[in-house]
Amino acid sequence: MLNTIILTDIKQNIQSLKLQVIFIIILVVFTVGSVAYVFQYRDAMEDYHNYSLKMQEEIRKDADINITRVAVYKRDHLLAPENNGFIDDSKSQFTPNNIQYNAFNVFGYSISRMTSNPYLYLSNDLNWVFILSIIASFAILLLSYDTISGEREQQTLKLILSNSIPRGVLLFGKFMSIVISSVIMLLPGLLISLIILLISGILKISALQAFEITMFIVAAILFISTISALGMFCSVVSRSSSVSLLIGIILWSVFLIFSPNIAVFTADQIFKIKNSETVQEEVKMTKDAINKAAPEGSWSGSDNPFFPRHELRAKNQTNLMNAEKQIKDEWYNSQFRQYEKASRFTYLSPISIFGMVNESLIGSGYPRFRKNWEDLHTYQNQFLSWFKAIDSKDTKSPHWYNPYEDYSTSREKIRFEEIPLYTEKLMTIPQRLASAFPGIILLVIYSFLLFGISVLMFNRYDVR
């Protein structure tokens, strides 16, 4: 009985004009999005390659002068373009991707678009998550909003229930038919996208990318189930299919627009933090106080490394760096806490949850940035230890460590190959699963909750 309901409804869905139109739209969007990604990724990789060569050349030049320049000159670590951006770009245009550091400190972060025209990056990319979150979710709603109310209007619901079919079985059969129909609608687009990416040479299936694609499909099925249950809920709360559609559009709009924006509003109003101008003013005032309290000669300099006042200068510069570091690290941590607290409000929306789950599963966006931010702090300490170990062996160095200048530490040259360079370490699969787990559980809860409520309401539904 259940199989008959599922197969009959799948056949009806596939033959319906609305699914056929939606299928063509999704197929076109997948194709266009994949082709666009190929060109964007190639351009981004070319820019990143040129940037990396330039940075290496700067380090080589400093190494040919002395090791202290290698240690104290500020470097920018730019995160490489992601080869899984076709799944989700994770709002990369708004996520910090450039971190400044030297051997003594990790100074801060910024957004670098590596483009001549940043206005070209104001629109969303046509990646898999965007297609499923926006286009497919609305399409699934169109498939499911009239599953009950529509059949009641056509007088077919009364006829079906006259065959002594349990209402729960009927509803579950219709639910499964919508989920399966939606998967059938999406699979050709996914396959065409993969073929385009494989032919272009951008996608080289590795164990990690196979995991990312597989987990996207798993998350997509959970998301489809949630939206299908939402559509069925809309269908059983009204006796009119037009009212069901209106309720569905309202809820879809709330999940798509209201929930993410309420998170931003909440962050601004409840989880308040200092703005950049206040922080800069605090840094300036603190530095002024340190400079005023510094002993006379703290800014003196000489070509002689052992010039006595170089020690005062090194201590003063270290005090200035530590003071700024304390203020800014506290500010950065408050930004992280604000974002993480505000993100919890997006848990109200299955659309937002789906995006966050995929962001974690592919190791991009905020999780990727935070990992690099923390890893660079670890690297910075190792870099400093490496520099001090070499400097300690140099008898021509007074070993007065200045975090910004090369006055009073080793002036020996160093081979580029000996310099420990920072290399990004991708999030491991266990780390990704742990990060995505809360969102996955929430999607499951949403599906069960919406479907369970739909069953309870359908049991009291007047089919006349």
DSSP annotation of 119: G
Say what percent of the chain tops pLDDT 90: 66
Helices (H), 131-206: 137-144, 149-153, 156-161, 167-200
Instruction: Return all residues near 43 (Cβ < 8 A) that are at least 6 apart.
Output: none
Residue 66: closest CA among 397, 427, 428, 314:
397
pLDDT of residue 285: 96
Provide the mean pLDDT of the chain.
90
Element (H, E) at 340: helix 309-343
Q: pLDDT band at residue 464, thresholds of 50, 70 and 90?
A: low
pLDDT greater than 80 at residue 162: no
Q: pLDDT for 85-143, tens place per residue?
A: 999 987 777 789 999 999 999 999 998 766 555 555 545 678 999 999 999 999 999 98
Q: How many CB atoms lie within 10 A of CB 306?
A: 12
The radius of gyration of the chain's CA atoms, rounded to the nearest angstrom, is 29
Which of 239-243, 376-380, 436-440 comes out lowest in average pLDDT?
239-243
**What SS3 state is found at 101?**
strand
Q: pLDDT for 235-267, tens place per residue?
A: 888 878 889 899 999 999 888 877 777 777 777
Q: What is the pTM of this model?
A: 0.88
The stretch 381-396 carries a mean pLDDT of 96
pLDDT of residue 401: 96
Residue 216: closest CA among 429, 358, 360:
358
Look at 370 and 204; give whichever has higher pLDDT.
370
How far apart CA 67 and CA 416 sit, in angstroms, is 10
Which of 86-90, 287-291, 391-395 comes out lowest in average pLDDT?
86-90
